[in-house]
Structure 1
Amino acid sequence: MELNPRALFDLARTTVETAVSVPGRVLDLLGAAEAVVRRADELVARTAQVLDETEALVGRAKAVTAAAEGVTIDASHIARTSRELTDTYAPIAQKAQPLAQRFVDELSPHEVDAAIQLVDQLPVLTKHLLDDVLPILTTLDRVGPDIHQLLEVTNDVRQAILGIPGFAFLRRRGEDKEDVDVVNSSVPQA
């Protein structure tokens, strides 16, 4: 290729233009590089923040996992206890069901009210039973012979009275007087 002055001039001008535009391009390239570095810094900062948040989440997840393990252990214990109680009391409940059903079917509201009143009085009844009735019951073994003696004395007195002359007459007269008093008390007074 032959270079004529015009071609040479165009080449020189293109070279100068290119050379003059290189610093601008380099500056643009540096600006773009700085923007990329800034974006990279922002990404690094955001990545660090995401990592911090992730670590906190992992910590919370570990705590939740530990709590869940505790709840699972508790639930397992409760289930085992419930199963044991069910196994123990199910046969009893099945046997008691007809009796309980009969009790509920035949229980009236009046009887429920009476039972509630009785339960309300249990403290008073207990006090009287312990303080009054039980001490008397402990002396009953000594009362039996005393009553027997009293009956013997009463029988002796009766026989003595029957032996009094004229007692039969007095007795009949007393009975007649009682009959008249009964008749007079049944007649309305005017």
Structure 2
Amino acid sequence: MDLTPRALFGLARTTVETAVSVPGRVLDLLGAAEAVVRQADELVTRTARVLDETEALVGRARAVTAAAEGVTTDVGHTARTSRELLDSYAPLAQKAQPLAQRFVDELSPHEVDAAVQLVDQLPVLTKHLIDDVLPILTTLDRVGPDIHQLLEVTNDVRQAILGIPGFTFMRRRGEAKEDE
């Protein structure tokens, strides 16, 4: 290859330009490298944050899973209990259904209102029953002999009055005065 002064000068010029531009390029590369490092730092920070959030989410998911297991256990228990109750009460319900249907069919609004009023009065009725009626009922076993004795005395008095001379005359006279 034949180097002419012009070619040599051009080569030197290109070499110098390249040499002069190297520090700028190195600085640009260093700036780009610093930007990449900053972005990498930011990426690491964000990744750490995402990892922390993921760990927290996994913890909450575990808690939800544990709670769901408890709910599943409760639901299973409730389902078993419901099945047992249905099995126990189904024959009774089937037997009572026609009676309940008849009761509902024949019940009038007026009767429902009366039943509601009666239920509203139950506290008062209960109080009177306990305070007034039941104490009287406990004495009824003593009333029988007393009434029997009273009937005997009344019969004796009647016989005594009938035995009074002139009583029949006085009785007729009293009846006549009442009629007037």
Q: TM-score range by the shorter chain?
A: 0.7 to 0.9
Q: Which letter does structure 1 place at the counterpart of 2:157? A: V
Question: What TM-score comes out, normalization by structure 1 length?
Answer: 0.75
Q: Which letter does structure 1 place at the counterpart of 2:168? A: A
* Residue equivalent to 2:118: 118
* Residue equivalent to 1:136: 136
- d(CA) in 2 for partners of 1:131, 1:11: 130
- Label 1:164 to 1:43 Cα distance change in 2 as closer, same or farther (>3 A): same
* Residue equivalent to 1:79: 79
- d(CA) in 2 for partners of 1:28, 1:70: 62
Q: Which letter does structure 2 place at the counterpart of 1:136? A: I
How many residues end up aligned between the 2 structures? Answer: 180
**CA deviation after TM superposition for structure 1 residue 155, in Å:** 2.2
- d(CA) in 1 for partners of 2:72, 2:95: 34
RMSD: 2.7
**CA deviation after TM superposition for structure 1 residue 37, in Å:** 1.8
Q: Secondary structure at the match of 1:165?
A: coil
* Residue equivalent to 1:37: 37
* Residue equivalent to 1:100: 100
Q: Which letter does structure 2 place at the counterpart of 1:115? A: A
Structure 1 residue 175 corresponds to structure 2 residue 175: yes
**CA deviation after TM superposition for structure 1 residue 7, in Å:** 3.3
Question: What TM-score comes out, normalization by structure 2 length?
Answer: 0.78
Structure 1 residue 157 corresponds to structure 2 residue 157: yes
* Runs of 4+ with deviation above 4 angstroms: none
Q: Which letter does structure 2 place at the counterpart of 1:43? A: L
- Label 1:29 to 1:132 Cα distance change in 2 as closer, same or farther (>3 A): closer
Give the unaligned 5+ runs of structure 1. Answer: 181-190
- d(CA) in 2 for partners of 1:52, 1:147: 96
- Label 1:125 to 1:20 Cα distance change in 2 as closer, same or farther (>3 A): closer
Give the unaligned 5+ runs of structure 2. Answer: none
